[in-house]
Structure 1
Amino acid sequence: MNIIVVGQRHGESRTYRLTTPARTLLFGCLVALPFAMGAAGFWLADWLADEDFSLEPMAAEAWENDLSLQRQELEQIRIQTDQELQALTVKLAELQSRLMRLDALGERLVDVANLEAEEFDFSMAPALGGPGSIGEAYEAPEISDVLNDLADRIGHREQQLEVLDDLMSARRLDEDTFVTGRPIKKGWMSSRYGRRADPFTGQLAWHAGVDFAGKLGSDIVAVASGVVTWAGDRYGYGRLVEINHGNGYKTRYAHCLELNVKVGDIVRKGDVIAAMGSSGRSTGPHVHFEVFKNGRTVDPSAYIHRTLR
Protein backbone atom coordinates (compact mmCIF):
# COMPACT_ATOMS: atom_id res chain seq x y z
CA MET A 1 0.00 0.00 0.00
CA ASN A 2 1.42 3.34 -1.08
CA ILE A 3 0.71 6.80 0.51
CA ILE A 4 1.40 9.83 -1.73
CA VAL A 5 1.96 13.21 0.03
CA VAL A 6 1.74 16.31 -2.22
CA GLY A 7 3.71 19.42 -1.08
CA GLN A 8 2.56 23.07 -1.40
CA ARG A 9 5.69 24.24 -3.16
CA HIS A 10 6.07 23.55 -6.89
CA GLY A 11 3.69 20.59 -6.79
CA GLU A 12 6.31 18.30 -5.34
CA SER A 13 5.09 14.95 -4.02
CA ARG A 14 6.49 12.06 -2.05
CA THR A 15 5.44 8.44 -1.98
CA TYR A 16 5.53 6.30 1.18
CA ARG A 17 5.07 2.58 1.02
CA LEU A 18 3.42 0.91 4.07
CA THR A 19 4.47 -2.48 5.12
CA THR A 20 2.05 -5.18 6.22
CA PRO A 21 2.48 -4.56 10.01
CA ALA A 22 2.04 -0.82 9.51
CA ARG A 23 -1.12 -1.36 7.52
CA THR A 24 -2.48 -3.64 10.27
CA LEU A 25 -1.74 -1.08 13.01
CA LEU A 26 -3.34 1.80 11.07
CA PHE A 27 -6.48 -0.23 10.37
CA GLY A 28 -6.74 -1.19 14.05
CA CYS A 29 -6.49 2.43 15.14
CA LEU A 30 -9.20 3.48 12.70
CA VAL A 31 -11.52 0.77 13.99
CA ALA A 32 -10.83 1.42 17.72
CA LEU A 33 -11.14 5.22 17.51
CA PRO A 34 -15.00 5.40 17.47
CA PHE A 35 -15.25 3.02 20.41
CA ALA A 36 -12.74 5.06 22.38
CA MET A 37 -14.60 8.29 21.66
CA GLY A 38 -17.94 6.75 22.76
CA ALA A 39 -16.43 5.46 25.99
CA ALA A 40 -14.92 8.84 26.75
CA GLY A 41 -18.25 10.59 26.14
CA PHE A 42 -20.10 8.16 28.38
CA TRP A 43 -17.54 8.63 31.15
CA LEU A 44 -17.75 12.45 30.88
CA ALA A 45 -21.55 12.41 31.00
CA ASP A 46 -21.52 10.16 34.06
CA TRP A 47 -19.00 12.41 35.82
CA LEU A 48 -21.05 15.55 35.10
CA ALA A 49 -24.19 13.85 36.41
CA ASP A 50 -22.39 12.93 39.60
CA GLU A 51 -21.19 16.54 40.02
CA ASP A 52 -24.76 17.91 39.57
CA PHE A 53 -26.16 15.52 42.17
CA SER A 54 -23.41 16.48 44.61
CA LEU A 55 -24.03 20.22 44.09
CA GLU A 56 -27.82 20.08 44.65
CA PRO A 57 -27.61 19.42 48.45
CA MET A 58 -25.10 22.28 48.84
CA ALA A 59 -27.40 24.70 46.97
CA ALA A 60 -30.42 23.63 49.05
CA GLU A 61 -28.45 24.16 52.27
CA ALA A 62 -27.40 27.63 51.14
CA TRP A 63 -31.03 28.54 50.33
CA GLU A 64 -32.14 27.27 53.74
CA ASN A 65 -29.50 29.41 55.46
CA ASP A 66 -30.62 32.49 53.51
CA LEU A 67 -34.26 31.86 54.43
CA SER A 68 -33.33 31.44 58.10
CA LEU A 69 -31.46 34.77 58.07
CA GLN A 70 -34.43 36.48 56.41
CA ARG A 71 -36.79 35.05 59.04
CA GLN A 72 -34.55 36.39 61.80
CA GLU A 73 -34.43 39.84 60.18
CA LEU A 74 -38.23 39.87 59.82
CA GLU A 75 -38.62 38.91 63.48
CA GLN A 76 -36.29 41.71 64.54
CA ILE A 77 -38.20 44.16 62.35
CA ARG A 78 -41.49 43.01 63.89
CA ILE A 79 -40.16 43.39 67.44
CA GLN A 80 -38.76 46.84 66.65
CA THR A 81 -42.06 47.89 65.04
CA ASP A 82 -44.02 46.72 68.09
CA GLN A 83 -41.70 48.67 70.39
CA GLU A 84 -42.05 51.80 68.28
CA LEU A 85 -45.84 51.46 68.23
CA GLN A 86 -45.90 51.08 72.00
CA ALA A 87 -43.69 54.14 72.39
CA LEU A 88 -45.93 56.15 70.05
CA THR A 89 -49.02 55.00 71.95
CA VAL A 90 -47.52 56.15 75.26
CA LYS A 91 -46.46 59.45 73.67
CA LEU A 92 -49.93 59.99 72.24
CA ALA A 93 -51.56 59.27 75.62
CA GLU A 94 -49.21 61.76 77.28
CA LEU A 95 -50.04 64.44 74.72
CA GLN A 96 -53.76 63.81 75.17
CA SER A 97 -53.47 64.23 78.93
CA ARG A 98 -51.50 67.43 78.48
CA LEU A 99 -54.13 68.74 76.09
CA MET A 100 -56.81 67.99 78.69
CA ARG A 101 -54.82 69.99 81.22
CA LEU A 102 -54.53 72.86 78.76
CA ASP A 103 -58.28 72.78 78.15
CA ALA A 104 -58.97 72.86 81.89
CA LEU A 105 -56.49 75.70 82.37
CA GLY A 106 -58.00 77.61 79.46
CA GLU A 107 -61.51 77.26 80.88
CA ARG A 108 -60.22 78.49 84.23
CA LEU A 109 -58.62 81.52 82.61
CA VAL A 110 -61.85 82.28 80.79
CA ASP A 111 -63.67 82.19 84.11
CA VAL A 112 -61.05 84.28 85.94
CA ALA A 113 -60.87 86.88 83.17
CA ASN A 114 -64.67 87.09 82.86
CA LEU A 115 -64.46 86.39 79.12
CA GLU A 116 -67.31 85.16 76.95
CA ALA A 117 -67.44 81.36 77.32
CA GLU A 118 -68.90 80.95 73.82
CA GLU A 119 -66.03 82.91 72.30
CA PHE A 120 -63.37 80.84 74.07
CA ASP A 121 -64.83 77.33 74.02
CA PHE A 122 -61.93 74.96 74.72
CA SER A 123 -64.11 71.91 74.11
CA MET A 124 -64.36 72.78 70.40
CA ALA A 125 -61.60 72.30 67.86
CA PRO A 126 -60.16 75.61 66.63
CA ALA A 127 -61.35 76.79 63.22
CA LEU A 128 -58.57 76.66 60.63
CA GLY A 129 -58.25 77.45 56.92
CA GLY A 130 -56.37 79.23 54.18
CA PRO A 131 -55.65 79.01 50.45
CA GLY A 132 -53.72 75.97 49.31
CA SER A 133 -50.72 75.93 46.98
CA ILE A 134 -51.56 74.31 43.64
CA GLY A 135 -49.01 72.05 42.00
CA GLU A 136 -46.74 71.68 45.01
CA ALA A 137 -45.91 68.15 46.05
CA TYR A 138 -46.53 67.33 49.69
CA GLU A 139 -44.17 65.01 51.47
CA ALA A 140 -45.70 63.52 54.59
CA PRO A 141 -43.40 63.81 57.63
CA GLU A 142 -42.56 60.93 59.90
CA ILE A 143 -45.18 60.40 62.60
CA SER A 144 -42.52 60.55 65.31
CA ASP A 145 -41.42 63.97 64.03
CA VAL A 146 -45.03 65.17 64.05
CA LEU A 147 -45.54 63.98 67.64
CA ASN A 148 -42.29 65.58 68.79
CA ASP A 149 -43.20 68.87 67.15
CA LEU A 150 -46.67 68.73 68.72
CA ALA A 151 -45.14 68.00 72.12
CA ASP A 152 -42.85 71.03 71.81
CA ARG A 153 -45.73 73.28 70.84
CA ILE A 154 -47.85 72.01 73.72
CA GLY A 155 -44.94 72.60 76.10
CA HIS A 156 -44.62 76.19 74.95
CA ARG A 157 -48.38 76.74 75.30
CA GLU A 158 -48.31 75.29 78.80
CA GLN A 159 -45.57 77.67 79.85
CA GLN A 160 -47.40 80.64 78.35
CA LEU A 161 -50.70 79.72 79.95
CA GLU A 162 -49.10 79.09 83.33
CA VAL A 163 -47.43 82.49 83.26
CA LEU A 164 -50.69 84.09 82.16
CA ASP A 165 -52.56 82.24 84.90
CA ASP A 166 -50.09 83.43 87.53
CA LEU A 167 -50.34 87.01 86.32
CA MET A 168 -54.13 86.97 86.17
CA SER A 169 -54.43 85.23 89.55
CA ALA A 170 -52.14 87.81 91.11
CA ARG A 171 -54.13 90.61 89.50
CA ARG A 172 -57.41 89.07 90.61
CA LEU A 173 -56.05 88.72 94.13
CA ASP A 174 -54.99 92.38 94.11
CA GLU A 175 -58.44 93.38 92.86
CA ASP A 176 -60.22 91.24 95.43
CA THR A 177 -58.17 92.51 98.37
CA PHE A 178 -58.28 96.11 97.15
CA VAL A 179 -60.43 98.10 99.58
CA THR A 180 -62.99 100.07 97.62
CA GLY A 181 -66.75 100.59 97.38
CA ARG A 182 -69.70 100.97 99.74
CA PRO A 183 -70.54 98.45 102.48
CA ILE A 184 -74.23 98.49 101.54
CA LYS A 185 -76.30 97.74 98.46
CA LYS A 186 -78.99 100.30 99.25
CA GLY A 187 -78.91 103.34 101.54
CA TRP A 188 -77.29 106.71 101.99
CA MET A 189 -74.41 108.26 103.95
CA SER A 190 -75.82 109.76 107.14
CA SER A 191 -72.62 110.84 108.91
CA ARG A 192 -69.06 111.55 107.75
CA TYR A 193 -65.62 110.84 109.16
CA GLY A 194 -64.07 113.32 111.64
CA ARG A 195 -65.31 115.60 114.42
CA ARG A 196 -69.07 115.88 114.96
CA ALA A 197 -71.66 116.44 117.68
CA ASP A 198 -72.24 113.24 119.63
CA PRO A 199 -75.88 112.14 119.02
CA PHE A 200 -76.32 111.15 122.67
CA THR A 201 -74.46 113.92 124.57
CA GLY A 202 -74.44 116.74 122.00
CA GLN A 203 -70.77 117.36 122.72
CA LEU A 204 -68.04 117.54 120.07
CA ALA A 205 -66.56 114.07 119.57
CA TRP A 206 -64.40 112.16 117.13
CA HIS A 207 -66.20 109.91 114.64
CA ALA A 208 -63.72 107.26 113.41
CA GLY A 209 -65.83 106.10 110.46
CA VAL A 210 -68.79 106.89 108.24
CA ASP A 211 -72.43 105.89 108.75
CA PHE A 212 -74.72 104.51 106.05
CA ALA A 213 -78.39 104.53 106.94
CA GLY A 214 -80.91 102.18 105.36
CA LYS A 215 -83.71 99.72 105.88
CA LEU A 216 -83.58 97.41 108.89
CA GLY A 217 -82.30 93.99 107.81
CA SER A 218 -80.81 95.15 104.49
CA ASP A 219 -77.55 93.56 103.30
CA ILE A 220 -74.12 94.62 104.50
CA VAL A 221 -71.36 93.51 102.10
CA ALA A 222 -67.58 93.20 102.33
CA VAL A 223 -65.73 95.89 100.41
CA ALA A 224 -62.77 93.56 99.80
CA SER A 225 -61.79 89.93 100.21
CA GLY A 226 -60.17 88.84 103.44
CA VAL A 227 -60.36 86.82 106.65
CA VAL A 228 -62.89 87.49 109.42
CA THR A 229 -61.00 88.37 112.63
CA TRP A 230 -64.01 89.42 114.74
CA ALA A 231 -67.66 88.45 114.62
CA GLY A 232 -69.68 89.26 117.75
CA ASP A 233 -70.59 91.92 120.27
CA ARG A 234 -68.16 94.70 121.06
CA TYR A 235 -68.56 97.63 123.41
CA GLY A 236 -70.10 100.64 121.67
CA TYR A 237 -70.20 98.82 118.29
CA GLY A 238 -72.98 96.40 119.08
CA ARG A 239 -72.70 93.35 116.80
CA LEU A 240 -69.47 93.86 114.84
CA VAL A 241 -67.71 92.19 111.92
CA GLU A 242 -64.00 92.87 111.42
CA ILE A 243 -62.15 91.71 108.29
CA ASN A 244 -58.40 91.68 107.67
CA HIS A 245 -57.59 92.25 103.98
CA GLY A 246 -53.81 92.05 104.17
CA ASN A 247 -51.29 94.71 103.13
CA GLY A 248 -52.04 96.55 106.38
CA TYR A 249 -55.78 97.04 105.65
CA LYS A 250 -58.70 96.16 107.93
CA THR A 251 -62.40 97.11 107.85
CA ARG A 252 -65.17 97.11 110.48
CA TYR A 253 -68.95 96.87 110.08
CA ALA A 254 -70.86 97.79 113.27
CA HIS A 255 -74.42 97.95 114.74
CA CYS A 256 -75.50 94.83 112.80
CA LEU A 257 -78.86 93.14 113.34
CA GLU A 258 -77.42 89.66 112.75
CA LEU A 259 -74.13 88.21 111.49
CA ASN A 260 -73.68 85.82 108.57
CA VAL A 261 -69.99 85.01 109.20
CA LYS A 262 -67.79 83.78 112.05
CA VAL A 263 -64.16 84.22 112.99
CA GLY A 264 -61.83 82.47 110.54
CA ASP A 265 -64.18 82.62 107.57
CA ILE A 266 -62.75 83.71 104.23
CA VAL A 267 -65.01 86.20 102.49
CA ARG A 268 -64.93 87.48 98.94
CA LYS A 269 -65.48 91.00 97.77
CA GLY A 270 -69.24 91.66 97.63
CA ASP A 271 -70.24 88.78 99.96
CA VAL A 272 -73.11 89.53 102.34
CA ILE A 273 -71.59 89.38 105.82
CA ALA A 274 -74.39 90.78 108.00
CA ALA A 275 -77.80 92.47 108.12
CA MET A 276 -78.22 96.17 108.93
CA GLY A 277 -79.45 96.88 112.45
CA SER A 278 -79.23 99.24 115.40
CA SER A 279 -77.37 97.22 118.01
CA GLY A 280 -74.99 98.90 120.44
CA ARG A 281 -74.76 102.66 120.74
CA SER A 282 -77.09 103.60 117.89
CA THR A 283 -80.09 105.81 117.21
CA GLY A 284 -81.50 103.79 114.27
CA PRO A 285 -80.80 101.22 111.53
CA HIS A 286 -77.42 101.94 109.95
CA VAL A 287 -73.93 100.48 109.51
CA HIS A 288 -70.93 102.17 111.04
CA PHE A 289 -68.05 101.57 108.55
CA GLU A 290 -64.40 101.98 109.50
CA VAL A 291 -61.20 101.52 107.46
CA PHE A 292 -57.84 100.87 109.15
CA LYS A 293 -54.50 101.29 107.44
CA ASN A 294 -51.44 100.05 109.30
CA GLY A 295 -53.33 100.11 112.59
CA ARG A 296 -54.82 103.62 112.28
CA THR A 297 -58.24 104.72 111.07
CA VAL A 298 -58.48 106.63 107.79
CA ASP A 299 -61.37 108.39 106.10
CA PRO A 300 -63.50 105.67 104.41
CA SER A 301 -64.83 108.26 101.96
CA ALA A 302 -61.47 108.16 100.16
CA TYR A 303 -61.97 104.44 99.49
CA ILE A 304 -65.57 104.45 98.29
CA HIS A 305 -64.71 105.58 94.75
CA ARG A 306 -61.11 104.37 94.82
CA THR A 307 -59.80 102.58 91.68
CA LEU A 308 -56.94 100.09 91.25
CA ARG A 309 -54.12 101.40 89.08
Structure 2
Amino acid sequence: MNQKMTFYIMSHSGARIRELTISKHMIRLMLLFLCGLFLAFVWMIYDYTRLFVAASELPVLHSELMQSEENLGIQRQQIQIFAKELNLLKSRIMTLSEFEQKIRTIANLQTPEGGEGIFGLGGPQVEDLDTRLELSETHASLIREMHDRVVQLDTGSLERIDGFETLLKSLENQRNLLAVTPAIRPADGWVTSRFGYRTSPFTGKREFHSGLDIANRIGTAVVATADGVVSFAGDRGAIGLVVTVDHGHGLVTRYGHLHKALVKAGQKVRRGEVIAKMGNSGRSTGPHVHYEVRLNGVPVNPGRYILD
Protein backbone atom coordinates (compact mmCIF):
# COMPACT_ATOMS: atom_id res chain seq x y z
CA MET A 1 0.00 0.00 0.00
CA ASN A 2 1.40 3.39 -0.99
CA GLN A 3 1.94 5.77 1.85
CA LYS A 4 0.43 9.16 1.37
CA MET A 5 0.89 12.60 2.85
CA THR A 6 -1.99 15.00 3.33
CA PHE A 7 -1.55 18.79 3.22
CA TYR A 8 -4.20 21.19 4.55
CA ILE A 9 -4.39 24.57 2.96
CA MET A 10 -6.02 27.34 4.98
CA SER A 11 -6.89 30.84 3.86
CA HIS A 12 -6.81 34.05 5.96
CA SER A 13 -9.93 35.23 4.15
CA GLY A 14 -12.12 32.71 5.93
CA ALA A 15 -12.55 30.34 3.01
CA ARG A 16 -12.95 26.69 3.74
CA ILE A 17 -9.90 24.52 4.35
CA ARG A 18 -8.58 22.61 1.36
CA GLU A 19 -7.08 19.21 1.59
CA LEU A 20 -4.24 17.98 -0.73
CA THR A 21 -3.16 14.36 -0.57
CA ILE A 22 0.09 13.32 -2.34
CA SER A 23 1.75 9.97 -2.28
CA LYS A 24 5.32 9.72 -1.00
CA HIS A 25 6.40 8.23 -4.37
CA MET A 26 5.23 11.37 -6.11
CA ILE A 27 7.11 13.48 -3.57
CA ARG A 28 10.30 11.57 -4.33
CA LEU A 29 9.81 12.16 -8.04
CA MET A 30 9.29 15.84 -7.44
CA LEU A 31 12.43 16.01 -5.30
CA LEU A 32 14.43 14.22 -7.99
CA PHE A 33 13.05 16.56 -10.60
CA LEU A 34 14.03 19.58 -8.49
CA CYS A 35 17.51 18.16 -7.91
CA GLY A 36 17.92 17.51 -11.65
CA LEU A 37 16.71 20.99 -12.38
CA PHE A 38 19.21 22.39 -9.88
CA LEU A 39 22.06 20.36 -11.33
CA ALA A 40 21.13 21.46 -14.84
CA PHE A 41 21.15 25.05 -13.68
CA VAL A 42 24.57 24.59 -12.07
CA TRP A 43 25.88 22.94 -15.26
CA MET A 44 24.56 25.81 -17.37
CA ILE A 45 26.31 28.31 -15.13
CA TYR A 46 29.58 26.30 -15.32
CA ASP A 47 29.35 25.89 -19.10
CA TYR A 48 28.58 29.56 -19.55
CA THR A 49 31.53 30.50 -17.38
CA ARG A 50 33.79 28.14 -19.36
CA LEU A 51 32.60 29.54 -22.67
CA PHE A 52 33.05 33.06 -21.36
CA VAL A 53 36.62 32.31 -20.33
CA ALA A 54 37.29 30.60 -23.67
CA ALA A 55 35.80 33.55 -25.53
CA SER A 56 38.03 35.92 -23.57
CA GLU A 57 41.09 33.81 -24.54
CA LEU A 58 40.08 33.61 -28.21
CA PRO A 59 41.89 36.82 -29.27
CA VAL A 60 45.07 35.58 -27.59
CA LEU A 61 44.76 32.18 -29.27
CA HIS A 62 44.07 33.87 -32.59
CA SER A 63 47.17 36.02 -32.15
CA GLU A 64 49.26 32.96 -31.27
CA LEU A 65 47.87 31.11 -34.30
CA MET A 66 48.77 34.02 -36.59
CA GLN A 67 52.25 34.10 -35.06
CA SER A 68 52.65 30.34 -35.55
CA GLU A 69 51.59 30.61 -39.19
CA GLU A 70 54.03 33.47 -39.69
CA ASN A 71 56.84 31.44 -38.08
CA LEU A 72 55.90 28.45 -40.21
CA GLY A 73 56.07 30.59 -43.32
CA ILE A 74 59.51 31.87 -42.30
CA GLN A 75 60.68 28.29 -41.64
CA ARG A 76 59.44 27.21 -45.08
CA GLN A 77 61.30 30.10 -46.69
CA GLN A 78 64.42 29.10 -44.74
CA ILE A 79 64.00 25.52 -45.97
CA GLN A 80 63.89 26.78 -49.57
CA ILE A 81 66.95 28.99 -48.97
CA PHE A 82 68.80 26.04 -47.44
CA ALA A 83 67.83 23.88 -50.43
CA LYS A 84 69.27 26.52 -52.77
CA GLU A 85 72.48 26.63 -50.73
CA LEU A 86 72.73 22.83 -50.95
CA ASN A 87 72.38 23.06 -54.72
CA LEU A 88 75.10 25.72 -54.79
CA LEU A 89 77.38 23.62 -52.59
CA LYS A 90 76.84 20.62 -54.87
CA SER A 91 77.78 22.75 -57.87
CA ARG A 92 80.97 23.92 -56.14
CA ILE A 93 81.98 20.36 -55.28
CA MET A 94 81.39 19.33 -58.90
CA THR A 95 83.50 22.32 -60.02
CA LEU A 96 86.28 21.16 -57.71
CA SER A 97 86.00 17.67 -59.20
CA GLU A 98 86.37 19.09 -62.71
CA PHE A 99 89.29 21.26 -61.57
CA GLU A 100 90.99 18.24 -60.02
CA GLN A 101 90.50 16.27 -63.24
CA LYS A 102 91.97 19.12 -65.32
CA ILE A 103 95.05 19.26 -63.10
CA ARG A 104 95.46 15.49 -63.36
CA THR A 105 95.16 15.70 -67.15
CA ILE A 106 97.71 18.53 -67.39
CA ALA A 107 100.09 16.73 -65.02
CA ASN A 108 99.48 13.39 -66.80
CA LEU A 109 98.28 11.78 -63.55
CA GLN A 110 95.78 8.95 -63.43
CA THR A 111 92.58 9.27 -61.40
CA PRO A 112 92.93 6.95 -58.37
CA GLU A 113 90.79 3.83 -58.48
CA GLY A 114 87.39 4.44 -56.89
CA GLY A 115 88.14 8.16 -56.69
CA GLU A 116 85.44 9.44 -59.03
CA GLY A 117 82.93 9.65 -56.19
CA ILE A 118 79.30 10.66 -56.10
CA PHE A 119 80.00 14.07 -57.63
CA GLY A 120 82.96 12.97 -59.76
CA LEU A 121 82.95 13.22 -63.52
CA GLY A 122 82.37 9.51 -63.87
CA GLY A 123 79.78 9.21 -61.10
CA PRO A 124 76.00 9.23 -61.44
CA GLN A 125 74.39 12.58 -62.14
CA VAL A 126 72.70 14.03 -59.05
CA GLU A 127 69.71 16.26 -59.77
CA ASP A 128 69.27 19.63 -58.06
CA LEU A 129 66.63 20.01 -55.36
CA ASP A 130 63.44 21.62 -56.70
CA THR A 131 63.16 24.82 -54.64
CA ARG A 132 60.10 26.05 -56.55
CA LEU A 133 57.72 23.56 -54.92
CA GLU A 134 54.89 24.94 -52.79
CA LEU A 135 55.91 23.94 -49.29
CA SER A 136 52.43 23.88 -47.75
CA GLU A 137 52.13 20.18 -48.54
CA THR A 138 55.52 19.02 -49.85
CA HIS A 139 57.92 20.45 -47.29
CA ALA A 140 58.27 17.09 -45.52
CA SER A 141 59.34 15.47 -48.80
CA LEU A 142 61.79 18.29 -49.51
CA ILE A 143 63.28 17.96 -46.02
CA ARG A 144 63.85 14.24 -46.60
CA GLU A 145 65.53 15.00 -49.92
CA MET A 146 67.66 17.65 -48.23
CA HIS A 147 68.75 15.15 -45.59
CA ASP A 148 69.75 12.68 -48.32
CA ARG A 149 71.59 15.44 -50.17
CA VAL A 150 73.52 16.43 -47.02
CA VAL A 151 74.70 12.82 -46.70
CA GLN A 152 75.74 12.83 -50.38
CA LEU A 153 77.54 16.16 -50.01
CA ASP A 154 79.38 14.89 -46.95
CA THR A 155 80.51 11.79 -48.83
CA GLY A 156 81.41 13.82 -51.92
CA SER A 157 83.41 16.39 -49.92
CA LEU A 158 85.37 13.66 -48.12
CA GLU A 159 86.21 12.05 -51.47
CA ARG A 160 87.32 15.41 -52.85
CA ILE A 161 89.58 15.90 -49.81
CA ASP A 162 91.13 12.47 -50.37
CA GLY A 163 91.42 13.20 -54.09
CA PHE A 164 93.20 16.52 -53.55
CA GLU A 165 95.50 14.97 -50.95
CA THR A 166 96.60 12.27 -53.38
CA LEU A 167 96.85 14.87 -56.16
CA LEU A 168 98.99 17.13 -53.98
CA LYS A 169 101.22 14.20 -53.09
CA SER A 170 101.58 13.24 -56.76
CA LEU A 171 102.34 16.83 -57.76
CA GLU A 172 104.88 17.07 -54.95
CA ASN A 173 106.56 13.90 -56.18
CA GLN A 174 106.59 15.27 -59.73
CA ARG A 175 107.91 18.60 -58.54
CA ASN A 176 110.71 16.84 -56.68
CA LEU A 177 111.44 14.71 -59.73
CA LEU A 178 111.51 17.78 -61.99
CA ALA A 179 113.76 19.60 -59.53
CA VAL A 180 116.36 16.81 -59.71
CA THR A 181 116.10 16.35 -63.50
CA PRO A 182 118.81 18.22 -65.45
CA ALA A 183 117.12 20.92 -67.51
CA ILE A 184 119.54 23.84 -68.19
CA ARG A 185 122.93 24.49 -69.81
CA PRO A 186 125.86 23.99 -67.43
CA ALA A 187 127.67 27.08 -68.77
CA ASP A 188 127.55 29.86 -71.37
CA GLY A 189 129.63 29.29 -74.47
CA TRP A 190 129.87 27.44 -77.74
CA VAL A 191 129.25 23.74 -78.25
CA THR A 192 132.48 22.36 -79.69
CA SER A 193 131.70 18.65 -79.48
CA ARG A 194 128.41 16.80 -79.14
CA PHE A 195 127.39 13.47 -77.65
CA GLY A 196 128.14 10.41 -79.78
CA TYR A 197 130.89 9.09 -82.03
CA ARG A 198 133.53 11.54 -83.27
CA THR A 199 137.10 11.73 -84.52
CA SER A 200 139.48 12.04 -81.56
CA PRO A 201 141.42 15.37 -81.64
CA PHE A 202 144.35 13.54 -80.09
CA THR A 203 144.54 10.25 -82.01
CA GLY A 204 142.52 11.03 -85.12
CA LYS A 205 140.63 7.78 -84.62
CA ARG A 206 136.86 7.28 -84.27
CA GLU A 207 135.83 7.25 -80.63
CA PHE A 208 132.69 7.60 -78.52
CA HIS A 209 132.26 10.97 -76.83
CA SER A 210 130.14 10.48 -73.69
CA GLY A 211 129.27 14.11 -73.09
CA LEU A 212 128.82 17.63 -74.42
CA ASP A 213 131.72 20.10 -74.66
CA ILE A 214 130.96 23.81 -74.15
CA ALA A 215 133.90 26.19 -74.67
CA ASN A 216 134.46 29.64 -73.19
CA ARG A 217 137.09 31.62 -71.31
CA ILE A 218 138.85 30.16 -68.28
CA GLY A 219 136.92 31.15 -65.14
CA THR A 220 133.48 31.08 -66.77
CA ALA A 221 130.88 30.00 -64.23
CA VAL A 222 129.72 26.36 -64.32
CA VAL A 223 126.32 25.73 -62.69
CA ALA A 224 124.47 22.64 -61.45
CA THR A 225 121.81 21.69 -63.97
CA ALA A 226 119.47 20.25 -61.28
CA ASP A 227 119.13 19.86 -57.53
CA GLY A 228 121.34 17.19 -56.01
CA VAL A 229 124.22 16.26 -53.73
CA VAL A 230 127.90 16.50 -54.71
CA SER A 231 129.21 12.94 -54.70
CA PHE A 232 132.77 13.77 -55.86
CA ALA A 233 134.96 16.85 -56.37
CA GLY A 234 138.57 16.22 -57.41
CA ASP A 235 141.01 15.09 -60.11
CA ARG A 236 140.08 12.22 -62.44
CA GLY A 237 143.10 11.96 -64.74
CA ALA A 238 142.25 12.60 -68.39
CA ILE A 239 139.01 14.47 -67.56
CA GLY A 240 140.98 16.67 -65.19
CA LEU A 241 139.33 18.40 -62.23
CA VAL A 242 135.75 17.11 -62.09
CA VAL A 243 132.62 17.65 -60.01
CA THR A 244 130.01 14.87 -59.89
CA VAL A 245 126.46 15.58 -58.68
CA ASP A 246 124.04 12.79 -57.73
CA HIS A 247 120.41 13.82 -58.36
CA GLY A 248 118.75 10.61 -57.22
CA HIS A 249 116.46 8.39 -59.29
CA GLY A 250 119.58 7.04 -61.02
CA LEU A 251 120.52 10.45 -62.50
CA VAL A 252 124.10 11.75 -62.22
CA THR A 253 125.80 14.73 -63.90
CA ARG A 254 129.56 15.27 -64.35
CA TYR A 255 131.43 18.51 -65.08
CA GLY A 256 135.05 18.00 -66.24
CA HIS A 257 138.19 19.93 -67.25
CA LEU A 258 137.46 22.51 -64.54
CA HIS A 259 139.77 25.27 -63.36
CA LYS A 260 138.39 25.34 -59.84
CA ALA A 261 135.73 23.46 -57.84
CA LEU A 262 133.58 25.65 -55.57
CA VAL A 263 131.83 22.75 -53.81
CA LYS A 264 132.88 19.65 -51.92
CA ALA A 265 131.58 16.11 -51.55
CA GLY A 266 128.39 15.81 -49.50
CA GLN A 267 127.30 19.38 -50.22
CA LYS A 268 123.72 19.97 -51.43
CA VAL A 269 123.36 22.12 -54.54
CA ARG A 270 120.37 23.67 -56.31
CA ARG A 271 119.68 24.08 -60.01
CA GLY A 272 121.49 27.18 -61.31
CA GLU A 273 123.95 27.33 -58.39
CA VAL A 274 127.57 28.01 -59.42
CA ILE A 275 129.63 24.94 -58.52
CA ALA A 276 132.89 25.48 -60.42
CA LYS A 277 134.94 27.59 -62.82
CA MET A 278 135.59 26.48 -66.39
CA GLY A 279 139.17 25.44 -67.10
CA ASN A 280 141.57 23.43 -69.19
CA SER A 281 142.66 20.68 -66.77
CA GLY A 282 143.34 17.09 -67.82
CA ARG A 283 143.68 16.11 -71.45
CA SER A 284 142.16 19.10 -73.24
CA THR A 285 142.67 21.15 -76.37
CA GLY A 286 141.38 24.36 -74.79
CA PRO A 287 139.26 25.83 -71.99
CA HIS A 288 135.84 24.17 -71.89
CA VAL A 289 133.54 22.11 -69.66
CA HIS A 290 132.88 18.48 -70.46
CA TYR A 291 129.24 17.89 -69.37
CA GLU A 292 127.86 14.37 -68.93
CA VAL A 293 124.44 13.02 -67.93
CA ARG A 294 124.35 9.41 -66.75
CA LEU A 295 121.18 7.39 -66.13
CA ASN A 296 121.75 4.29 -64.00
CA GLY A 297 125.45 4.50 -64.87
CA VAL A 298 124.91 4.69 -68.65
CA PRO A 299 125.83 7.94 -70.49
CA VAL A 300 122.85 9.54 -72.26
CA ASN A 301 122.64 12.50 -74.60
CA PRO A 302 122.89 15.69 -72.44
CA GLY A 303 121.24 17.70 -75.23
CA ARG A 304 117.92 16.04 -74.41
CA TYR A 305 118.12 17.53 -70.91
CA ILE A 306 118.82 21.12 -71.97
CA LEU A 307 115.54 23.04 -72.15
CA ASP A 308 116.78 26.65 -71.98
Pick the structure with greater CA Rg.
Answer: 1
